[in-house]
């Protein structure tokens, strides 16, 4: 997990959401009731939005595909990119949507059962939204690390060959 300047309790939950409240209290030298109270308050106010597992799709047998879509937008008067970004984020196919700097405005992460499903999403839903100027789609080929977890692979034997 990347170093974050947030509450140590939240950091521990980000590293391992399966810690019990008692384990968290022991790690932080706090009272378990206080830990429970803080976590419940964060869940109520939206600081903690949910919990999930990081799954290795290859080992889980998943054949789904993931795509990273760069989206250029026309900002709206008085709202900038927010309304369009939230409209895009609400699609079921969208796993993540980020405002980004650089040559595009949004980075959208999409999953589908195959390449055609992702292509249909881009051509029929995403690119037809007023304000979407262009998209560029990049498909995930392999995952090495996600949400702080390295997907362990066997190390190749010996040194890499040196090309002339």
List the single range of 42-51, 73-82, 105-114 with lowest mean pLDDT: 73-82
- Whole-number pLDDT of residue 136: 97
- Whole-number pLDDT of residue 58: 86
State residue 101 phi and psi, 5-degree precision. -95, 165
Q: Which of 63, 87, 60 is nearest to 73 (CA)?
A: 87
> What's the average model confidence in pLDDT over 84-92?
97
- Whole-number pLDDT of residue 79: 80
CATH topology of domain 61-142: Alpha-Beta Plaits (3.30.70)
Question: DSSP readout, 144-157?
Answer: SEETTEE---PPPS
State residue 149 phi and psi, 5-degree precision. -105, 125
State residue 72 phi and psi, 5-degree precision. -100, 135
Residue 158 confidence (pLDDT) above 70: no
List the single range of 53-62, 84-93, 111-120, 132-141 with lowest mean pLDDT: 53-62
State residue 98 phi and psi, 5-degree precision. -125, 140
Strand order in the sheet with 132-139: 94-99, 106-112, 65-73, 132-139
Mean pLDDT, rounded, of the chain: 91
For tokens 């939950």, the residue is 13
CATH 1.10.10 in the chain, residues?
8-45
Residue 48 confidence (pLDDT) above 60: yes
Cβ-based burial of 126 (10 A; exposed 0-12, middle 13-18, buried ≥19): buried
- Whole-number pLDDT of residue 108: 98
Residue 68 confidence (pLDDT) above 80: yes
- Whole-number pLDDT of residue 155: 65
Looking at domain 8-45, which CATH architecture does it have? Answer: Orthogonal Bundle (1.10)
Beta carbons within 10 angstroms of residue 73's beta carbon? 19
Confidence of residue 114 (pLDDT cuts 50, 70, 90): very high
Q: What is the dihedral of CA 108, 14, 50, 29, to 10 degrees?
A: -160
Residue 6 confidence (pLDDT) above 90: no
CATH 3.30.70.920 in the chain, residues?
61-142
Angle (nearest 5°) at CA 12 between 10 and 14 = 70
- Report the alpha-carbon distance of residue 153 to residue 95 in Å, rounded: 25
């Amino acid at each position: 997990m990347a170093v974050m300047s947030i509450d140590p309790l939240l950091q521990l939950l980000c590293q391992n959401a399966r810690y019990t409240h008692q384990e968290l209290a022991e790690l932080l030298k706090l009272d378990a009731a206080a830990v429970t109270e803080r976590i419940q308050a964060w869940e109520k106010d939206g600081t903690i939005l949910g919990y999930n597992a990081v799954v290795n799709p290859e080992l889980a047998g998943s054949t789904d595909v993931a795509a990273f879509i760069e989206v250029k937008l026309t900002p709206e008067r008085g709202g900038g990119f927010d309304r369009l970004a939230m409209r895009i984020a609400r699609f079921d196919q969208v796993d993540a949507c980020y405002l980004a700097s650089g040559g595009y405005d949004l980075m959208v992460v999409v999953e589908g059962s195959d390449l055609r499903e992702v292509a249909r999403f881009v051509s029929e839903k995403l690119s037809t939204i007023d304000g979407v100027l262009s998209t560029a789609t990049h498909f995930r080929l392999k995952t090495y690390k996600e949400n702080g977890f390295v997907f362990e692979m066997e190390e190749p034997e010996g040194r890499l060959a040196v090309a002339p």
